[in-house]
Structure 1
């Protein structure tokens, strides 16, 4: 096995609850079983710094990370399936990207 980093991108717009998270979490778990190291990064397509301040009807959920104290009622599929904890660096919004440049 080579040490080349590979990326898998899953898109689907902002529509919540259509199975993007479960699909990528399942694929990630299969890769974990095959010996690959998994890291998940989520980017919300919002121009807000904190998606937790959005209307829950528009966004659907907030999140909990080790560094950030936002509440999320149900853990993500990837956290449950991979058995990894989420950290603040694994989340972002487009606004974070714009501010970095």
Structure 2
């Protein structure tokens, strides 16, 4: 049975704790590059739930 587009949609969340500068952005970008090299369409979205004042 061929796969439709809805069966190919997946989500990957890269999260971290309270320590900043752990390299989460680098890890997410590297993972996206690997997935794109395998022919997948990747969209990266950054969410910062903290109020940076």
Q: State the TM-score bracket (shorter-chain normalisation).
A: 0.7 to 0.9
Deviation of 1:41 after TM superposition, in Å, equals: 1.1
Q: Distance in 2 between matches of 1:14 and 1:41?
A: 19
Gaps of 5+ in 2: none
TM-score by length of 2: 0.73
* Partner Cα distance (2:22, 2:15) in 1: 11
Q: TM-score, normalised by structure 1?
A: 0.42
CA contact 1:10–1:20 (8 Å) conserved in 2: yes
CA distance in 2, matches of 1:45, 1:31: 26
Q: List structure 1 runs of 4+ shifted beyond 3 angstroms.
A: none
Of 15, 34, 39 in structure 2, the residue corresponding to residue 30 of structure 1 is 34
Higher strand content, 1 or 2: 1
Unaligned stretches of 5+ in structure 1?
55-101
Count of residue pairs the alignment pairs up: 49
1:26 alignment partner, SS class: helix
Across the aligned residues of Structure 1 and Structure 2, the Cα RMSD in angstroms comes to 1.9
SS at 2:47 equivalent: strand
| Deviation, structure 1 residue 14 | 4.5
Highest RCO, 1 vs 2 (Cα 8 Å, sep ≥ 6): 1
